[in-house]
Structure 1
């Protein structure tokens, strides 16, 4: 998958991967449809950071979820 392209499909993929990696219980709260291509770069940064780490502290998880919440339209 080419994540350099700002497409709705890539946004959906990144959100799915982030919620899976964070093992989010309420993954429905973060839907790909809540994000636009305007915020793609910020979302991509979060995605790359999440994919690089193997585990997250509760504080890190909370910060990531809050940042995703701030990006929502």
Structure 2
């Protein structure tokens, strides 16, 4: 899987991985179908940053979730 290629399959994978990494208990907060490919690279940047950083604080988790909310479909 090449995550540099914007596709719905890749977007779904990234969103699901973000939900796991952020330990989101309510899956409805990050549903892949709520996002479209227009913001693929922005969402992937968050995914890459989170993977590079590893452990995140609660404040960082809240900031990431807030940022992801900006990219949801209206």
TM range (shorter): over 0.9
Q: Distance in 2 between matches of 1:53 and 1:25?
A: 21
The match for 1:12 is 12
The match for 2:35 is 35
Post-superposition offset of 1:68: 0.6
Contact 2:19–2:27 (CA under 8 A) maintained in structure 1: yes
TM-score, with length taken from structure 2: 0.92
Aligned residue pair count: 73
Please state whether the residue corresponding to 1:19 is helix, strand or coil. Answer: helix
TM-score, with length taken from structure 1: 0.93
What do residues 1-32 of structure 1 show as CA deviations (whole Å, max 9, x unaligned)? 10111100000000011111111111221111
Moved over 3 A (4+): none
- Structure 2 unmatched runs, 5+: none
Q: Please give the residue correspondences for 1:1-73 in structure 2 after superposition, counting only pairs within 5 Å.
A: 1-73=1-73
Q: Distance in 2 between matches of 1:59 and 1:5?
A: 30
